[in-house]
Structures are given as structure tokens and as C-alpha cells.
Amino acid sequence: MSKSSNTYKVINRDVGKALHRYDMISHGDRILVALSGGKDSLTLMWVLNERLSRIPIKYKLFAVYVDPGFEHGYSQSLSEYCRKIGFELRVEHTDYGIVAHSSRNRENPCFLCSRLRKKRLFEIADELECNKLAFGHNKDDIIETLFLNICYAGEISTMVPSQSFFQERFTLIRPLSFVDEEVIRRFAREKGYPDFVNACPTSKVSKRQEIKGFLNQLYRTNRKVKGNIFKAMSHVKKEYLLK
């Protein structure tokens, strides 16, 4: 795909805006890129790698996939594809998905699985001496998380583009924070990314999917709604909230 394509230009512009606004990447950074095999994380890896060829600052990327342990997983296929496009993938085999869906777990399976995988990623980042972890969450993910937390956690909060952890030992960054999911979907088609099918038994029936469906209906009523919701998260009038 040509760098002159409109899709590339939109993604490059929005990623650049997020990187600059939140000062996400500095010279000498060692960045663990959390790959899931989905369009978002593959796009993230491609964009961060592509930028190295044309910007003055240099950093190192380490792709890591935490396999949740479901039968018929795709870790081998994902590793082969990553090797084909020019980078090595570290696969961490776990049973997190199995445990999260077992009778031992009294929490939401998605919540526990996500928490365990994130914890392991921080451990691997420490092992690899990485100071940054890059996740592929996009604009839609951030909006959906806001509504998930309002509806199911009783709080107004969401994922943020950049966040420090463990006395600033690590910084979690989300360079795709300003990129619309539809743009990433179009980019994935243009790049010909394989469809790695999620083997999680609840991947299609999660609360996030319910929220996504609700929001998509809302967006269809007025194309300005998504932008207004996203803008509202940085334009909060606290004096008009309950205390």
C-alpha cells in the first residue's frame, strides 16, 4: 500500500497528533508492543515500525502476544505472519482464558483475563528492560470504555492515551487513541491482514459488544455524536456533576 493513500495519511496524522500531545515516545525508548492478532495491534506495530524510517528519534520495538490458552488458538499462525512481514513475535503461553471462564472465577471473565494478561505484559516488559508498553486501543475503544464504566462500574472514567505505572517505572501508551476504528478497518483491508479468529467463547457476547451496538445506532442518527462524546471527555464541567 502506498504511503500516499488517504487511509495512511489519516492514520499517520492522528497517530502523530497523539504522540505529540502526550509526549508518548522519546529517543532510546524500549517499547513492548502488545499484539493480539487483531487489526488494531497489527496496525499499531506497522505504524510504529514505519515511523522509524523517517523520524530523527530512535526506539526499539518488542512484539509480544499473551496466548490465553483456548483450544484452536492462532499463536503459531500469528508468529509465522509476523516473521513474514519482518519482525519476531514473542508468544507467552498461558491458561488465563481457561481460568477466567472456569467455575473458580467469580468475576467477569473478560475482566479477569484482561487483568492477568496485562500483569504478565508488565512482567515481560521488566524482563526485556522496556520502559513503555504500547496497546492498540483506538478512539472507539476509549468511548466504549467510558460507557462501560458508567453503566457497569458506576463511575465516569475511561482508558487514557498515556499513563504511568509503578512509580513511573513504566508508561502505557495508546498511539491509536485518536484513530477511528473504521479507518483502521479500512487500513487492515488495504494491507491484507489475515483474519485471526478469536477462540474466546464470550468474544461475541461481551458487554463491550452490547455497548458497541448501542453506540453505533446512536452514531447513525447524527455523524457529529462520536466526535462530541470524545471531545466531552476532555471538556468536563465538574461544577455540574453530583458531589
C-alpha closest to that of 88 among 63, 112, 54, 122: 63
Model confidence at 103, in pLDDT bands (50, 70, 90)? Answer: confident
55 located within any domain: yes
The β-bridge relationship of strands 60-67 and 162-165 is: unpaired
Mind listing the pLDDT tens digit for each residue in 187-224? Answer: 999 999 999 988 888 877 788 889 999 999 999 999 99
For range 1-15, the mean pLDDT: 83
196 located within any domain: yes
1 located within any domain: no
113 lies in which domain range?
A: 6-240
218 located within any domain: yes
Integer Cα distance of 113 and 76 in angstroms:
21
How many structural domains are present in the chain? Answer: 1
pLDDT confidence of residue 228: 97
pLDDT confidence of residue 107: 74
Average per-residue pLDDT in the chain?
93
pLDDT confidence of residue 171: 98
Sign (positive or negative) of CA dihedral 204, 78, 195, 186: positive
Mind listing the pLDDT tens digit for each residue in 33-90? Answer: 999 999 999 999 999 999 999 999 999 999 999 999 998 899 999 999 999 999 999 9
The pTM of this model reads: 0.93
Cα 163 from chain centre: 13
Contacts of 158-167 with C-beta under 8 Å, sequence gap 24+, read: 158/233, 161/18, 161/21, 161/22, 161/24, 162/22, 162/23, 162/24, 165/122, 166/122
Supply the CATH number for residue 207's domain. 3.40.50.620
| 170 close to 133: Cβ distance less than 8 angstroms | yes
